[in-house]
Structure 1
Amino acid sequence: MANTQYPESYYAASANAVPPRPVLQDDVETDVCVIGAGYTGLSSALFLLENGFRVTVLEAAKVGFGASGRNGGQIVNSYSRDIDVIERTVGPKQAQLLGEMAFEGGRIIRERVARYNIQCDLKDGGVFAALSAKQMDHLESQKRLWERFGHTQLELMDQRRIREVVGCDQYVGGMLDMSGGHIHPLNLALGEAAAVESLGGTIYEQSPAVRIERGASPVVHTPQGKVRARFIIVAGNAYLGNLVPELAAKSMPCGTQVITTEPLGDELANALLPQDYCVEDCNYLLDYYRLTADKRLIFGGGVVYGARDPANIEAIIRPKMLKAFPQLKDVKIDYAWTGNFLLTLSRLPQVGRLGDNIYYSQGCSGHGVTYTHLAGKVLAEALRGQAERFDAFADLPHYPFPGGQLLRTPFAALGAWYYGLRDKYGL
């Protein structure tokens, strides 16, 4: 049987030590079987265990193997489509409930870190950087929108002010969100997994779900065992494959690329990001970056539709980094990797139930660090019979990509090309 290890990333190289976890080789019974040990699955498991459920988690590779252990590590509030877009789509009542939840994920992360003493280099403060007057106008509108839903830890920054927090002359202004921030994402996942186990939950690694036997007492089959449960939570996201065909039809795995420099030293690191905030720009195809605890720069961006691995990640991302920070032209890149996230046509998460006992959440569309932690809480509430917040997500409309699986990749790439031109020319 394959023994799938972490990709060669900075996160894997600097991960906290953890004990080996078993492969499922028996038939077990539990209240809830969670498929996937990323943020969605781990968050669900924690909330369920805290409410008295027996929980078994199946992971095809290792805890945090997918997007949860490979992302940019940025705590960014709201959703990939903001609350005003949701409001125009579903009306004010449903949007009000979703808007009230839009800033909850970051609070859940901080509560988990504090309660379970998770060592993941948590830092406060995230910057949205505007490259044009039009983007600055958008940030002003976004600030008013977020404040309407009670989110007030925001500061608009003019050109002088943003240069105090980002050593880059590209930006005309920006917005600072002090409830944003950044973490070592794999260490956050590993810490949450340890918390799951501390509460009596069981996590099996190298134990992919290969078939779900649906019915009143559903059974999840792995190559060497099976789990019979009252409920199943499907939390595989971009790494689910075709296990649940009706979920695969309305989503598309996409890859994003990340590089990490050699250690920069205090002087250079502080010149780039004096307050150690994380940054993302306001382009549709955005770039994002931050410092690590050992003063490296992590820089990410770009999207590969269909989740192919590019031949040379550094060649794609290094020019973007040097455009922002030309002073890094002689700095060595120590790590380069790609990771997949799951895109939906609406760019809003897909939440729902199959039959009476199979629940799912997927499709964060590149905005998953905070949403997945909220999703775990919402899924756990639904299993306890409190479905109002679950229903607010489940009632969002979703559609298959035009042309089905054959054309979804070129269709999405064409859309990205269009928006890339808009970014380039400030349209």
Structure 2
Amino acid sequence: MANTPYPQSYYAASANTVPAHPALQQEVETDVCVIGAGYTGLSSALFLLENGFRVTVLEAAKVGFGASGRNGGQIVNSYSRDIDVIERSVGPKQAQLLGQMAFEGGRIIRDRVARYQIQCDLKDGGVFAAITGKQMGHLEAQKRLWERYGHSQLELLDKTRIREVVACEQYVGGMLDMSGGHIHPLNLALGEAAAVESLGGTIYEQSPAVRIERGANPVVHTPTGKVRAKFIIVAGNAYLGNLVPELAAKSMPCGTQVITTEPLGEALANSLLPQDYCVEDCNYLLDYYRLSGDKRLIFGGGVVYGARDPANIEAIIRPKMLKAFPQLKDVKIDYAWTGNFLLTLSRLPQVGRLGDNIYYSQGCSGHGVTYTHLAGKVLAEALRGQAERFDAFADLPHYPFPGGQLLRTPFAALGAWYYGLRDKFDF
């Protein structure tokens, strides 16, 4: 049987040492079978176990193999489309529920880290950096919007103030969110997996779900075993493949690229980001960066529609890093990798139920670190019969990409090109 290792990323190289989980080799019975040991699956499993369910998690590769263990590691509130967009497209009650949940994911992460003593380099503080006056105006409106939903840990940064938190000459201002922050994402996933097992849950690695036998008591088949369950949670996101055809039609895997420098040393690292906040700019195709626990710069950006792996990641991302920090021109890049996230046409997550007993959440559209932790709580609530918050997500309208699976990639790339021009020329 194939053994899929982690990609050669900084996160895999610096991951906490944990024992491997066995592959499923037999037939087991459980209350809930979770497909995918990323953040959505692990968060669901934890909330279900804390409420007395028996839970079995199937992972095709290793815990956190997908986006959960490859992302920029930034705790960013709200969704990929903000609450004002939701307010314009749904009714007031639904918008109010979704708005109230927009800041919950970060609180869940911090609770997990504290409760289960997860070592993942958690740091507080995230900055949204404006490159143009128009972007600064959007941040001012965003602050008012978020404060209307009770989110108060925000500070607008003028041109002088932003220089105090990031040594980059590009920015005209920004907004600091002290409830944002950053983590070592793979170590967070590994810690959550350990928490799942501490509560009696079972995780099988190298055990891809190859078929779901639907019915009153559904069965998930792997190459060498099967899981009989009362409920299934599908949490594969961009790595689900065509296991559930209904879910593949309205989403598209996309790749993003990340590089990590050699250790910079305390003096250089602190000169770049004196308060150790993470940063993302306000462009449509945004750049994002932060310091690691051992004082490297982790820098990511760009999108490859259709999730192709670029031949030379460093050639794509290093120029972006040097545009922000030309003082790093002689610094060596130690790691470069790519990973997939799942994009929806609306840029809002897809949540729902197939039949009576198969639940799913997918399509974080690049905003997954916080949302996935919220999704696990919402899915667990639905399985317990408390579906109001689940329904608020499930009732969001979703549409297939124009052109179907054949043409969705070029159409999405064309749209991104247009928005890239808007950012560049500020129109």
Asked if these proteins are the same fold (TM beyond 0.5), I'd say yes
**CA offsets 1:189-235 (integer angstroms, 9 cap, x no match):** 00000000000000000000000000000000000000000000000
**CA offsets 1:61-100 (integer angstroms, 9 cap, x no match):** 0000000000000000000000000000002211000000
SS of alignment partner, residue 48 of structure 2: helix
Return the alpha-carbon distance in structure 1 between the equivalents of residues 240 and 405 of structure 2.
15
**CA offsets 1:146-192 (integer angstroms, 9 cap, x no match):** 00000000000000000000001110000000000000000000000
Return the alpha-carbon distance in structure 2 between the equivalents of residues 124 and 28 of structure 1.
41
Return the alpha-carbon distance in structure 2 between the equivalents of residues 33 and 278 of structure 1.
35
- The residue that corresponds to 2:271 in the other structure is 271
**CA offsets 1:360-389 (integer angstroms, 9 cap, x no match):** 000000000000000000000000000000
Return the alpha-carbon distance in structure 1 between the equivalents of residues 402 and 158 of structure 2.
41
Return the alpha-carbon distance in structure 1 between the equivalents of residues 376 and 411 of structure 2.
31
Return the alpha-carbon distance in structure 1 between the equivalents of residues 102 and 64 of structure 2.
23
Return the alpha-carbon distance in structure 1 between the equivalents of residues 274 and 402 of structure 2.
46
Return the alpha-carbon distance in structure 2 between the equivalents of residues 17 and 425 of structure 1.
47
- The residue that corresponds to 1:48 in the other structure is 48
Return the alpha-carbon distance in structure 1 between the equivalents of residues 66 and 287 of structure 2.
20
Return the alpha-carbon distance in structure 1 between the equivalents of residues 425 and 342 of structure 2.
28
SS of alignment partner, residue 341 of structure 2: strand
Give 1:120 shift: 0.1
Give 1:335 shift: 0.1
SS of alignment partner, residue 391 of structure 2: helix
SS of alignment partner, residue 117 of structure 1: coil
Deviates more, 1:340-349 or 1:92-101: 92-101
SS of alignment partner, residue 276 of structure 1: coil
TM-score normalised to the size of structure 1? 1.00
Return the alpha-carbon distance in structure 2 between the equivalents of residues 257 and 21 of structure 1.
28
Return the alpha-carbon distance in structure 2 between the equivalents of residues 408 and 339 of structure 1.
19
SS of alignment partner, residue 263 of structure 2: coil
Give 1:359 shift: 0.0
Return the alpha-carbon distance in structure 1 between the equivalents of residues 175 and 43 of structure 2.
29
Return the alpha-carbon distance in structure 2 between the equivalents of residues 157 and 305 of structure 1.
33
% identical equivalent positions = 92
Give 1:20 shift: 1.5
Give 1:426 shift: 1.2
- The residue that corresponds to 1:408 in the other structure is 408
**CA offsets 1:257-315 (integer angstroms, 9 cap, x no match):** 00000000011001100000000000000000000000000000000000000000000
SS of alignment partner, residue 23 of structure 2: coil
Return the alpha-carbon distance in structure 1 between the equivalents of residues 53 and 320 of structure 2.
47
SS of alignment partner, residue 137 of structure 2: helix
- The residue that corresponds to 1:173 in the other structure is 173
TM-score normalised to the size of structure 2? 1.00
Give 1:411 shift: 0.8
Give 1:3 shift: 0.2
SS of alignment partner, residue 364 of structure 1: coil
Return the alpha-carbon distance in structure 1 between the equivalents of residues 376 and 274 of structure 2.
34
- The residue that corresponds to 2:208 in the other structure is 208
Q: Unaligned stretches of 5+ in structure 2?
A: none
Return the alpha-carbon distance in structure 2 between the equivalents of residues 230 and 175 of structure 1.
46
**CA offsets 1:310-349 (integer angstroms, 9 cap, x no match):** 0000000000000000000000000000000000000000
Return the alpha-carbon distance in structure 1 between the equivalents of residues 156 and 220 of structure 2.
49
- The residue that corresponds to 2:282 in the other structure is 282
Return the alpha-carbon distance in structure 2 between the equivalents of residues 422 and 84 of structure 1.
20
Return the alpha-carbon distance in structure 2 between the equivalents of residues 7 and 277 of structure 1.
26
Return the alpha-carbon distance in structure 2 between the equivalents of residues 92 and 310 of structure 1.
43
Return the alpha-carbon distance in structure 1 between the equivalents of residues 90 and 346 of structure 2.
12
SS of alignment partner, residue 192 of structure 1: helix
- The residue that corresponds to 1:321 in the other structure is 321
Q: Unaligned stretches of 5+ in structure 1?
A: none
Return the alpha-carbon distance in structure 2 between the equivalents of residues 126 and 390 of structure 1.
28
Return the alpha-carbon distance in structure 2 between the equivalents of residues 312 and 425 of structure 1.
28
Return the alpha-carbon distance in structure 1 between the equivalents of residues 226 and 91 of structure 2.
43
Return the alpha-carbon distance in structure 1 between the equivalents of residues 418 and 135 of structure 2.
17
Return the alpha-carbon distance in structure 2 between the equivalents of residues 278 and 121 of structure 1.
13
Return the alpha-carbon distance in structure 2 between the equivalents of residues 412 and 247 of structure 1.
18
Return the alpha-carbon distance in structure 2 between the equivalents of residues 242 and 417 of structure 1.
28
Return the alpha-carbon distance in structure 2 between the equivalents of residues 257 and 19 of structure 1.
28
RMSD of aligned residue pairs (Cα, Å): 0.3
- The residue that corresponds to 2:71 in the other structure is 71
Return the alpha-carbon distance in structure 2 between the equivalents of residues 424 and 2 of structure 1.
45
- The residue that corresponds to 1:3 in the other structure is 3
SS of alignment partner, residue 298 of structure 1: strand
SS of alignment partner, residue 346 of structure 1: coil
SS of alignment partner, residue 203 of structure 1: strand
Return the alpha-carbon distance in structure 2 between the equivalents of residues 350 and 30 of structure 1.
26
